[in-house]
Structure formats: structure tokens, C-alpha cells
Structure 1
Amino acid sequence: MVQLGDIDRSDPRPPYQQIAGMLRSAIESGTLEPGARLPSEAALMENFGVARMTARQAIQELRGEGLVIPEHGRGVFVRPMPPVRRLASDRFARRHRDAGKAAFIAEADKAGYQPGVDRIEISRTTATETIAERLRLPAGDEVLVRDRRYLANGRPVEVATSYLPIAIADGTPIEEPDPGPGGIYARLEEAGHTLARFSEEVGARMPTPDERTALEIGPGIPVLTVVRTAYDVNDLAVEVCDTVKVAPAYLLEYDVPAQ
């Protein structure tokens, strides 16, 4: 068993929290690597001289933080985490679209992971009040909806839903599962909507059950929410993209001018 030290009886923290802290440190330092099996309850009981409930509470503490996952009949394992992706404002640079790369592909090239996208669904629906307001559309207007899931090295890292005015998307490759090189932003610009700016709202929360299933994450793993609105040179809102991202898979980086 990995060496974890001893319980400090003078420590005001209960023993289970101390044990959880030692296991957490071993995970964060890489002593317990992703995919490694945690010491069993019996091993923790013997090593620390504690009751089974104390050992169980220590493991539950780590499960609640999303650091470990149980596998029925096999034990509890350190959660394999997806590769960290740094989201910089550069990802929407026109040079990427000119090179035939959508933002996700540009990120992949920079971070060194293998990108993928699946579960692509395209539909039309009446815009909600919030989407209509963001797109500056009359209430009840129809919008094109693009749902998809993004993968990094085969692991889900985000789900995204784009909403576009039908007047812009109708009859264009944006209605196709694969809109072509450069993604939908390249198609928007080809249609005369040269992009000028993006507005993003970033939040954090716990995922819904459906999001946990789609992103293949367990209890204790938070998500980031990013709602982006794209505007063309005429300040026309041409797309709203609502994304839910696995929080440990992302670092958000923004360049903000000091003016």
C-alpha cells in the first residue's frame, strides 16, 4: 500500500478527514496516478487502526470531490481526467478559419490532443425568450439548433448547442452535420456576415443528470457554463452558443486590454 503517514490525534480534524487528506495529497502529487486503485477499506483500517466506518467516510469524502470512482466488484480508483485545454480568446482568430480549422480544432492543435465530435443533431424550433433576446429576434421566431458533443482523446469534455436565425442559416451548409472547413463561423463569413466580436458569459455549477450522462462524469464534478454571442461587423447577432464544459478539463484565459 502507498505510504500515507499516521493520524495525528492532536489534530482537530476527525480521523476520516485526515485520511482523506493524505489520499488526496497522494493523488495530487501523482503518487496515486489516474486509474490507480485506492487502498481498500480493510487496508485503511489496518494501516490507521480505525473502524470500517471511518475508512468508508474517508473514501466517500474523495468520491464527493470527484477524485475517485468506484467500480463494482473491483474497488475504488483514481479518476482518469481528460486533458486540460486552455481556452484563449485567440481560438476565434480569423486565421484559424482561413486555414480551415474551427475553434475546437485550433485548440486541439495548440494543446496536442486528438479532437472529436459526435452526437450531432440539427433541428428547428421556436426561440425561447432568452435566445430571442440574445439574437435580437421577435418573440416566437424560428431558429436553427445545432447540438453536439466534443471529445478530447476520446473522452467527452463539453456539450454545445448553437442557435442561429433561420434567415441566416436557411439553405446553407450550416444546416448540415458537417458544415465544412472552418466550421459554421467560416460559413457565416462566406455569407457576408464578417465576424467582429464575441460576448461570453461564464458560470459554474453542478451538472444536471443528463449532462453527467453525456459528459460521463460522476458525482462531485462541477461544470463550467459559457454562453457566447457572435456579432458581425454590422453588430447583428448571428449565433448564440450555449456550452457546458467539464470544469477540470479547462483553464479559461482571456486577454483584456487596459483601457
Structure 2
Amino acid sequence: MAALSSGVLGALDPTSDRAVFRQIADQVREAIDKGRFKEGAKLPSEAELVEHFGVSRMTVRNALSILQSEGLVSSEHGKGVFVRPRPPVRRLASDRFARRHRDQGKSAFTVEAEAAGSKPEVDSLEVREEKPAPDISARLGSPRKVLARRRRYLLDGRPVEFAVSYLPLDLARGTQIAEPNPGPGGIYARLEELGHRLDHFDEEVRARMPSPAEVKMLRLSSGVPVISLIRTAYDTEGRAVEVCDTVMAADAYVLAYQLPAN
């Protein structure tokens, strides 16, 4: 009860028309936002919250359910409810594909993981030729078949991102791009070695709730959305040389952009 007796959580407002369980959720949320409950900290138990607020156990459970659906807390069976960690990775759109990283033999994910002090891994790797979906085909100039590279990215053993790169077969077939390990600097380094110097990238970003398959793939907690990002890479001749369809756990990333003011 130390956390409660120290004023981390206040009292309910009996004059409010807001439901009691929502008032409790509001107080705990505010305490998390203001750092009174730190990342990874265990919240007071249900019994402690029941005693502190003078409410039923079901009321407390309803309050905690709201916070879990918002992705602020997670429940561990037999252990309690904990504050979820804040996003560990800053995805710097203006820097992540800088040529200097490729020249150093580093992929964008490796650079970001190192900046976050985390260990990057790639698993669930699959490389195959296939017929693209209409949207992907249109972005690549309507090829009949593409080389698809599917992989899952992990930070310190935790899945955070799943991506599929689609490349025209006339560029990728018979090259190191079609190998499980494309080599230092990744597929962009190989494309440039093949004469397709990269000029710019177009990205479309949106947030949504995950599909059941994505929940399983990224081991998402209840209420955690995903960031869906589709990127098209163009060479200096204006040709689209890759489309990457990425799904990221929204609680694992901060998307950072630098935009010119003129």
C-alpha cells in the first residue's frame, strides 16, 4: 500500500457523473503518464485498489481492462499488472536510408537497433517468386511476377516488425538479392551495385488494429495497434525498384521526421 498511501492515486469524486471504473482508470492513466508508475513497474494489486477506492473487485477489473485495451498495461498471470515499456526505437525517416549506412554494411534496422542499445535479429525469413497483388504490381509497373522477401525483425528477442519486400524479377533473379542473406548493407546495397542508384523513397503510413495473424506474428498484447507502412524505392531513372510492405508494433516505435519549412 506504500504507493497508494504516498498519494500516487487520489480519491473518487462522488459528485461526478463519470462511471466509477472510468474514474479509477483515469487516475491510474494519469499516474502512468506523469511517471508516478514507471515503465515496467507493477501496479497495486486488485485487493489494494479495492481497499483504496472502496469499490468492488469487478469495478477494479473493469478499470484495469480499459488500460490494457489502451496498451498502457499488461497482465501477467500469477504476477500482476505492469506498466508497458514506452517505444524504444526512434525510426528516423530522414536518416535511416542514408547511403553512408549502406557503405558501412549496415541495414536501416541495424542502425536503429544500435541507436536504441538493442540487439537486432531477423527470423521467419522466406524468399520466393510469386504473383504480386494488384496494388503492389501497379506500384512496380505491373510485372507479372516478383521476388518476395518476407522476414520478421526482433529487438532483444521481441518481435517488433514484419516486412515483405517485392522486387521486379528482371532485377533480382539470379542475384544475391534472391539469396536468404543478401550481404552487407542489404538489398539496397545490392541494387546500387547492379547500377540502380537509389534516388528517393515514397512512404504511406497509417495506424490500424492488427489482424489475428499479426497479433500472433508480433506477439501483441490486447489493445496494441500496428503501424502499416508501404514504401516504394525509386532509382535515379525514376523506376520503382522495390515496394516494401511493413507492419510494426505501434508500442515499439516512434516515427520521427524532419520536414523542410520552405
Under a length normalisation based on structure 2, what TM-score does the superposition of the two structures give? 0.91
Aligned to 1:187: 190
Q: 1:238, CA displacement in angstroms?
A: 0.5
Give a deviation string over 1:5-27, Cα, whole Å, max 9, x none.
Answer: 21121233221111112212232
SS in structure 1 at match of 2:42: coil
In 2, Cα distance between the equivalents of 1:39 and 1:225?
35
Deviates more, 1:68-77 or 1:14-23: 68-77
Q: Deviations over 1:160-218 (max 9, x none)?
A: 11001111100111111211110000000001111111110011101111111111111
**Offset, 1:154:** 2.4
Contact 1:121–1:177 (CA under 8 A) maintained in structure 2: yes
Report which stretch shifted further, 8-17 or 169-178.
Answer: 8-17
Greater displacement, 151-160 / 164-173? 151-160
1:117 aligns with 2:122: yes
CA RMSD of aligned residues (A): 1.7
Structure 2, unmatched stretches of 5+, are: none
Larger mean Cα displacement after TM superposition, 54-63 or 198-207: 54-63
Q: In the TM superposition, what are the counterparts of 1:1-259 in structure 2 within 5 Å? A: 1=1, 2-3=3-4, 4-81=9-86, 83-138=88-143, 141-259=144-262
Q: Is the 8 A contact 2:148 2:166 kept in 1?
A: yes
| Offset, 1:30 | 3.3
Query: C-alpha distance in 1, partners of 2:256/2:75?
Result: 33
Query: For residues 173 and 129 of structure 2, what CA distance do their matches in structure 1 show?
Result: 10
Q: Indicate if the aligned counterparts of 2:89 and 2:113 stay in contact, CA closer than 8 A.
A: no
Report how far residue 249 of structure 1 moved. 2.0
The alignment partner of 1:188 has SS state of helix
Deviation at 1:81, TM superposition (A): 4.6
Do the aligned partners of residues 22 and 84 (structure 1) sit closer, same or farther apart at CA in structure 2, a change above 3 Å counting?
farther
Q: Is the 8 A contact 1:83 1:152 kept in 2?
A: no
Secondary structure at the residue paired with 1:229?
strand
Aligned mates of 2:117, 2:172 — CA distance in 1: 32
Q: How far off is 1:49 after superposition? A: 0.8
1:93 offset after TM fit, Å?
0.9
Task: Tell me the percent identity.
Answer: 58
- SS of match in other structure, 1:43: helix
Matched residue type, 2:172? A
2:87/2:253 contact within 8 Å kept: no
Number of paired residues? 257
Please tell me whether the aligned partners of residues 127 and 143 of structure 1 are also in contact (alpha carbons under 8 angstroms): yes
Q: Once the 2 structures are TM-superposed, how far is the Cα of residue 62 of structure 1 from its aligned partner?
A: 0.8
CA distance in 1: counterparts of 2:121 and 2:15, whole angstroms: 51
After the TM superposition, which parts of structure 1 deviate over 6 Å for at least 4 consecutive aligned residues?
none
Measured after TM superposition, the shift of residue 42 of structure 1 is 2.3
TM-score, normalised relative to structure 1? 0.92
Q: Residues 12-55 of structure 1, C-alpha deviation per residue, up to 9 Å, x if partnerless?
A: 32211111122122323333233333223222211111122211
Q: Secondary structure at the match of 1:23?
A: helix
